[in-house]
Amino acid sequence: MGRIGTIIQRKGKQDAKKAKEFTKLGRYIMVAAKEGGGDPEYNAALKSAIEKAKAANMPNDNIDRAVKKGVGDGDGAVFTELTYEGYGPGGVAVLVECLTDNTNRTAADVRSYFSKGKGNLGTNGCVSFMFDRKGVLVIDKKEGMDDEEIEMAAIEAGCEDFSVEEDHYEIYTEIGDFADVRDAIAGQGYEFSMAELRYLPQTMTALTSEDDIKNMQKLIDLMEDNDDVQNVYHNWEE
C-alpha cells in the first residue's frame, strides 16, 4: 500500500460530511485569495485550494463565492493559521492544522480533543520532526489508463516518487516542485482526486489495545468534526 493508503481509505467516511468539508474548503479558498489575489494562475495557494475543492466535488458557485469573499473589502473575519502537535494513545504522533478566527476557542477545543482521546497536547516541535512535508498528487484509475505511461509522465515532470495502487496512482514531490509537477501532469490531460501539500509520517505506530484503537479513532473524529481544523495528520498504522 502506498504512503497515503489510509487517507484514501477514509475518503468514504469523509463523503458523509460534505457540508462540513465545504465549509472548511471555503475558508481555505477565502484566505488564499485574500493573501495572494483572486486569480489562481498567479496565486499558487489559491490554485491548490480550488483544485482540492473540485476534487471534493464542491460546487463552482461555492468556490466563486469564497474567492470573491476573500478578495472583498476586508470586512470579514480574520483567520489565523495554527499547527498543534501532540500524542494520541499508545504514543501515536498527531499534527493538527487549523484555520481559525478565534485562537482561544480553537486552542481549548484541540486540547479537549486530545484529552478525550486519551492523548496529550504537546509543545511545538514535539512530533513534527517525525513527518516529511511533501506534495501529494493522486490520480484515480480509469479504464484504458497505462501504468507505465502515467509513471513516465510523472518522472518527466520531475516527481520524487511514484506508486501504483489497486485503484489509484500516488505521485510525490518536493514542496518546491509541487506546482510545476502538478501543472506538467495536468497539461497531459490527467485529473487529480487529490493535489495538495501534506505531512507524511516517516514511520508508523501500531495500536494493539482495543481501548487505544477506539480512543485514537475518537480523537481523529472529534478533530475532523471541528470547522476550525483543516487537516489531521498522524502515524497510526490503521
pLDDT digits (tens, 9 = 90+) for 53-66: 888 888 999 999 99
What is the residue range of 48's domain? 5-70
At 184 the pLDDT is: 95
CB within 8 Å of 62: residues ≥ 6 apart: 22, 26, 53
- pLDDT > 80? residue 190: yes
What DSSP string runs through 157-193? Answer: HT-SEEEE-SSEEEEEE-GGGHHHHHHHHHTTT---S
| Structure confidence at residue 201 as a pLDDT band (50, 70, 90) | very high
Residue 22 lies in a domain: yes
- Which range among 1-5, 40-44, 215-219 has the greatest average pLDDT? 215-219
- DSSP per-residue letters across 125-148: TSSGGGEEEEEEEEEE--TT--HH
The lowest-confidence range among 51-60, 86-95, 128-137 is 51-60
Q: Any idea what the CATH number is for the domain that residue 49 is in?
A: 1.10.10.200
Residue 161 forms part of a structural domain: no
Give domain status of residue 214, yes or no: no
Number of domains in the chain: 1
In-domain check, residue 46 = yes
- The answer on pLDDT for 213 being more than 50 is yes
Find the DSSP H helices in the chain: 5-9, 11-15, 18-36, 44-55, 60-70, 103-116, 147-157, 178-186, 210-224
Please report the pLDDT score of residue 5 as a whole number. Answer: 52
Q: Quick check: is 24 in a domain?
A: yes
CB 225 within 8 A of CB 20: yes
Candidates 113, 112, 132, 125; CA nearest to 199 is: 132
Task: Find the mean pLDDT for residues 199-219.
Answer: 96
- Report yes or no on 63 lying in a domain: yes
Domain presence at residue 140: no
Residue 38 host element (H or E) = none
The pTM of the full predicted model, rounded to 2 decimals, is 0.83
Backbone angles phi, psi at 217, to 5 degrees: -65, -40
- Whether 9 shows a pLDDT value over 50: the answer reads no
CA dist 87 and 204 (Å) reads 13
Residue 167 C-alpha from the chain's centroid: 20
| 198 within a domain of the structure (yes/no) | no
